[in-house]
Structure 1
């Protein structure tokens, strides 16, 4: 009889505990989202690592992104990407080439402008481990895409408990590829040039760049 009571108790408490953890995770993510949205602009310097042991692939680089609303200036892999609110400009100095495209209509695409807010929709949330990183408490939340056809298996989002800023993102794909982004520097409300998100086409033409329009 005692075993039956214990079993029934576990059956009732388990879903309740899971629901509590999910609600706790969502509350923390809402705090992060509201904090991000409260800033006029954000500058993030980060380390990027892509790893797939089965395919023997390991890439590591650093990059940075400046965000203001939907606009962004993104630097990584020796290239620069600018979004002025209407068009995306990808500038590759090594090839002296620029590609100009319309904004992606794919709502599920994680663009630089969404890198700090992508988790707001389309995921189930789960409270995960708490780590101490050089005196900082980093709470992880596990995100699982609601879309069963997603190429992303899961995302672990590490959040600084005190500042409510994202510290680390670990994305695991269905193909076994792990992408890790670690924030080295997070600055907010910096003085920005009025032309930072303006593409100067004539300047690049004068420098001999080849411009492709898609």
Structure 2
């Protein structure tokens, strides 16, 4: 009888843990869904950031233009152009979803339902402001190990931390947002006239 009682206790503990994890996953999904929808509804977005790098990014759907001083990247939804200032060259590629996430952290809001487990870890108080904390972990072995998101009560990413294999942790802290901006599609494509002397390297 004692052994049976121990087994029952173990089952109850396991079920309780599974239920708690499911609830945390549901909460994380709710927060991520609302954040993704909010970014989508905002149309054109302008973001300035600091952290591991300083710079700015313009977003519209899956398209983006990123400038961190040493590198400029354009992505029109299919093709990416990356201009390396130090090398005076432009690399052209058709990036994978993982490659996009390494360059544009907002890309994960398009791909988080594909291949990630996520969990809600409560809220964090930073200088009187409350943020949701959500952790994403890939379901298969990839370069990215973990992504930690701090999301505002208005469902906008505030801090993004990306851990990858054999690389220092990448930290992005948002300084400012401008929502509902109007952009011409040309903003998300590299123009040869901007850097006429750059060497073009086509990696497609």
Bin the TM-score by the shorter chain: 0.7 to 0.9
Q: Retained in 2: the 8 A contact 1:139–1:159?
A: yes
Matches within 5 A, 1:6-155: 6-49=9-52, 61-95=53-87, 97-104=88-95, 106-109=96-99, 110=101, 111-112=103-104, 114-147=107-140, 149-155=141-147
Contact 1:172 1:178 (C-alpha < 8 Å) held by counterparts: yes
Report the more deviating stretch, 119-128 or 20-29.
Answer: 119-128
The Cα of 1:193 is off from its aligned counterpart by 5.0
**Cα offset, 1:203, TM superposition:** 4.6
1:156-187 alpha-carbon deviations (Å, 9 max, x no partner): 11111x21001111122343732211111122
Taking the aligned partners of 1:172 and 1:94, their CA distance within structure 2 comes to: 26
Q: Distance in 1 between matches of 2:34 and 2:193?
A: 43
Alignment of 1:177 with 2:168, yes or no, is: yes
Q: Provide the secondary structure at the position in 2 that maps to 1:211.
A: strand
Aligned equivalents of 1:30, 1:100: Cα separation in 2: 33
Aligned to 2:157: 166
1:62 and 1:170 map into 2 onto residues whose CA distance is 14
Task: Give the superposition deviation at 1:16.
Answer: 1.0
1:48–1:63 Cα contact (<8 Å) kept: no
After the TM superposition, which parts of structure 1 deviate over 4 Å for at least 4 consecutive aligned residues? 5-8
**Could you give the per-residue CA deviations for residues 21-43 of structure 1, whole angstroms, max 9, x where no partner exists?**
11111111111111111121111
Change (3 A) 1:75 1:6: same
Distance of aligned partners of 1:209 and 1:171 in 2 relative to their CA distance in 1, 3 Å threshold: closer
Calculate the aligned-residue CA RMSD, in Å. Answer: 2.6
Q: Which of 188, 194, 204 lines up with 1:197 in the alignment?
A: 188
Calculate the TM-score normalised by the size of structure 2: 0.82
Residue 168 of structure 1: SS of its match in structure 2?
strand
Instruction: Kindly indicate whether the alpha-carbon contact (under 8 Å) linking 1:79 and 1:93 is maintained by their aligned counterparts in 2.
Output: yes
Contact 1:41–1:189 (CA under 8 A) maintained in structure 2: yes
Change (3 A) 1:138 1:211: same
- Structure-1 separation of matches of 2:172 and 2:40: 21
- Determine the C-alpha separation between the residues in 1 that align with 2:170 and 2:194: 35
Gaps of 5+ in 1: 50-60
Change in Cα spacing, 1:80 to 1:174, as seen in structure 2 (3 Å) is closer
Cα distance in 2 between the residues matched to 1:176 and 1:211: 27
